[in-house]
Chains A and B, each alone.
Chain A
Amino acid sequence: MESVIRAASVYAALWLLFRITGRRSMSHITTFDFVLLLVVGEATQQALLGEDFSLTNGLLVISTLLGLDVALRWIKARDQRTERLLEGLPTLLVLDGQPIHERLREARIGEDEILQSARETQGLTRMEEIRLAVLEVSGTISIIPRAKD
């Protein structure tokens, strides 16, 4: 019982903390972000397991975490409002080569990050070449190039 409560509490707390810190996709994390994630995992371990390092407890905690994740995905797939609330919505950042500065500021995205995504995904080097740049719920920036004349 205690293991399940511990795992559920840690799951909820981590979800809330990562929701507060904002979107950032795995493809855009820096080496430091990665190290930070490892440290978070290490710090979480003790809270998850307590003083019980048995195989049974470990499996119970893992099952609880994965079970919660599956349940949450199931709910999100069936209820659009919950999905919006839990995942957020895409945000338009650039339209017809012009960055929408207000949204960039609110989303804490720099023009350099958009250009990086443009280079990586479309081979574009200038803002004017971008028709749409969208911050997706996964944290990636989708780039749709302008049609060439």
Chain B
Amino acid sequence: MTDSALQEASRLVGEDLAFQRRIWRFQRWGWAGLGLLVLLGALGAFGGGPLAEARTRSEDGAVEVEWERIERAGRESTIRLRTVAPHAGPLLLRLEEGFVDRVTVSAAEPRAAGEARAPGLVQLRFDPPPEGRRAEVVLRVHARRPGLVTGRLVLGESAVSLHLVILP
């Protein structure tokens, strides 16, 4: 196989090897990108994994909150609120701002004993936890639309602002 024969055949079939090699290079970068995407997905960069999980405390330190800061539209995730010290008496949880108009609370554990709604505000009332035990509320939520959501949760007197990135 001589170079001239190769060039002639190449011309005959309409080949442009330099261009084709650029495409193959693009494909290899694409495979690397796909691998990275899968890895990030497995780690939770798009919700549902360690990278998405977040934890914070209220400004007064009385309530700790665990939630997923990266979420996908329509997917259910949990927000777990827990008092640091044992709690006595009924528990009032107020959802404000983005948690009212951008996020839907599909369920709460324990089940809310009462619910009140006002524009920009949802208030859930829970029965007291067993005596000497810390109070814990788990909200199952899903965002309706992609975007950035900033919402406020107020458990008793303790307020926490949470930020959620909702992916499409």
Contact = CB atoms under 8 A, between A and B. Distances in A.
Interface of A: 9, 16-17, 19-22, 50-51, 84, 88-92, 95-96, 98, 100, 103, 106-107, 132, 134
Interface in B3-23: 5-6, 9-10, 12-17, 19-21, 23
Contact of B15 (A9, A16, A20, A91): A91
28 contacts: A9-B168, A20-B30, A21-B27, A50-B74, A51-B74, A84-B19, A88-B20, A88-B23, A89-B19, A89-B20, A90-B13, A90-B15, A92-B6, A92-B9, A92-B10, A92-B15, A95-B5, A95-B6, A95-B9, A96-B1, A96-B5, A100-B1, A100-B6, A103-B17, A107-B24, A132-B9, A132-B12, A134-B13
Contacts of A88: 20, 23
Given A84-B19, A98-B1, 11 more contacts: A20-B26, A20-B27, A20-B30, A20-B33, A20-B34, A50-B74, A88-B23, A92-B15, A95-B6, A106-B21, A132-B9
A19 B33 CA distance: 13
A133 to B, nearest CB: 10
A100 B6 CA distance: 10
Contacts of B1: 95-96, 98, 100
Interface of B: 1, 5-6, 9-10, 12-17, 19-21, 23-24, 26-27, 30-31, 33-34, 74, 168
B14 A89 contact: yes
Contacts of A92: 6, 9-10, 13, 15
Contact of A89 (B5, B15, B34): B15
Given A51-B74, A98-B1, A89 B27 contact: no
A19 B27 contact: yes
A134 B10 CA distance: 10
B20 A91 contact: yes
Nearest to B33: A20
